[in-house]
Amino acid sequence: MEFTFLGTSAGTPTRARNVTALALQHGGPRHWYLVDCGEGTQHQLLRTRLSVVQLQAIFITHVHGDHTFGLPGLLTSASMAGRTTPLPLIGPPQLKPFIETILANTDSSLSFELLYINSEADDFQWQDDALRVTSFPLSHRVPCHAYRFEELRLERKLLTERLKADGVKPGPEWGRLQKGHDVILADGTLVRATDYTEIPRSPRRVVVAGDNDNPDLLTDACQDAHLLVHEATYTQEVADRVGPWPQHSSARQVAAFARKAGLPHLILTHFSSRYQAAGTRGPVIDEITTEARESYTGNLHLARDFQRFRLDRDLTLTEVDE
């Protein structure tokens, strides 16, 4: 399971950071999912190996432009690239009039079906072969959600000693059992996969949050989760100066929550454009790191554009060098 940060700036792009988008790779060769789609996401993708043709679904946390204005270009470019596979677009119900009005007024059409799925519905849940996705409401100026991704179809381990003991000989049946299928032997005996295989690990669980000023709302979502990706727009000092109106989190708030929730891995993103690289004027991003480390002692990262992370089956999170 891999994560590529395509944009890590809040509100407006900077020269070093685009507005929000995150790619999650999982479930098949080059299969991937997109969470949020700020303007220029299709441009960022040109610098990765990800193709809109293999995109499995788009998840939008909320309607603000820095999370959605890249949708029309990404979708019409997928069309020009010849995509025909239907594409689920999961998010607030406003996405439908937003996309449809743009297409209608710009003489645009899509070569594939766009499946609008309302993430704000009470019974929202979505899954495909590889992932089950649930949503959790957050606190922001507009309805906003976190998405929790839990992997499905974990690889089974054959209990070979038990198979041999019960007289099931090595052969194609072992392969089918390992895939989770029950088999019937030549002598008519039914052999159940659940009796002769085990799943020796936990499914990986990841929560990707949208904009939010109350991380405690993620207590249930982060139950048993291994990684939280959450905004930390500024430090507490800046948050206090700005006031509560924007409804964003400080690094301190998120770090305190992550500690309390016992999260092993935390990636912060969505930084105010006032944070620049060290050596330039204005506050520096290291202030956010320092503040987060004051309360969170787990595996902490502050995302940069194009940074990639891998959450392995053994639940370690490592940065991937390209």
Ligand-binding site membership of 226 (annotated): no
Instruction: Give yes or no for a contact between 272 and 234, defined as CB atoms under 8 angstroms apart.
Output: yes
Query: Which 8-state DSSP code applies to residue 225?
Result: -
- Say how far apart CA 131 and CA 252 lie, in whole Å: 31
The minimum distance between CB 90 and its own copies, in angstroms, equals 16
List the interface residues with its own copies, window 136-175 (CB under 8 A). 141-142
Residue 280 as a binder of its own copies (CB under 8 A): the answer is no
- Say how far apart CA 59 and CA 38 lie, in whole Å: 12
Q: By C-alpha distance, which of 322, 297, 291, 292 is closest to 308?
A: 322
Query: Hey, what are 35's tokens?
Result: 């969470």
- In 152-189, beta strands by DSSP E: 157-158, 183-184
Ligand-binding site membership of 66 (annotated): yes
Residue 124 as a binder of its own copies (CB under 8 A): the answer is no
Residue 18 as a binder of its own copies (CB under 8 A): the answer is yes
Residue 11 as a binder of its own copies (CB under 8 A): the answer is yes
* Residue 66: active-site member: yes
Ligand-binding site membership of 62 (annotated): yes
Ligand-binding site membership of 64 (annotated): yes
Residue type, 310: R
| From 36, 66, 213, 305, the catalytic residue | 66
Ligand-binding site membership of 67 (annotated): yes
Among the listed residues 28, 49, 53, 65, the single contact to its own copies using CB under 8 A: 65
Query: Hey, what are 9's tokens?
Result: 């700036």
- Say how far apart CA 257 and CA 217 lie, in whole Å: 10
Residue 76 as a binder of its own copies (CB under 8 A): the answer is yes
Instruction: Give yes or no for a contact between 218 and 261, defined as CB atoms under 8 angstroms apart.
Output: yes
The minimum distance between CB 207 and its own copies, in angstroms, equals 24
Residue 274 as a binder of its own copies (CB under 8 A): the answer is no
- Say how far apart CA 305 and CA 177 lie, in whole Å: 42
Among the listed residues 27, 69, 246, 274, the single contact to its own copies using CB under 8 A: 69
The minimum distance between CB 73 and its own copies, in angstroms, equals 4
Instruction: Give yes or no for a contact between 12 and 66, defined as CB atoms under 8 angstroms apart.
Output: yes
Site string for its own copies, 213-252 (x = CB under 8 A): ----------------------------------------
List the interface residues with its own copies, window 24-43 (CB under 8 A). 39-40, 42-43
Query: Hey, what are 223's tokens?
Result: 């139950």
Residue 64 as a binder of its own copies (CB under 8 A): the answer is yes
Tell me whether residue 15 or residue 169 sits nearer to its own copies (CB atom).
Answer: 15
Instruction: Give yes or no for a contact between 298 and 263, defined as CB atoms under 8 angstroms apart.
Output: yes
Binding residue count for its own copies, defined by CB under 8 A: 37
DSSP codes, 274-316? T-B-TTSSS-BTHHHHHHHHHH--SEEEE--TT-EEEE-TTS-
- Say how far apart CA 34 and CA 41 lie, in whole Å: 10
Give the footprint of its own copies on this chain (CB under 8 A).
11-15, 18-19, 39-40, 42-43, 46-47, 63-65, 68-70, 72-73, 76-77, 80-81, 94-95, 97-98, 101-102, 105-108, 141-142
Active site residues: 66
- Residues of the binding site for Zn(2+): 62, 64, 66-67, 140, 211, 270
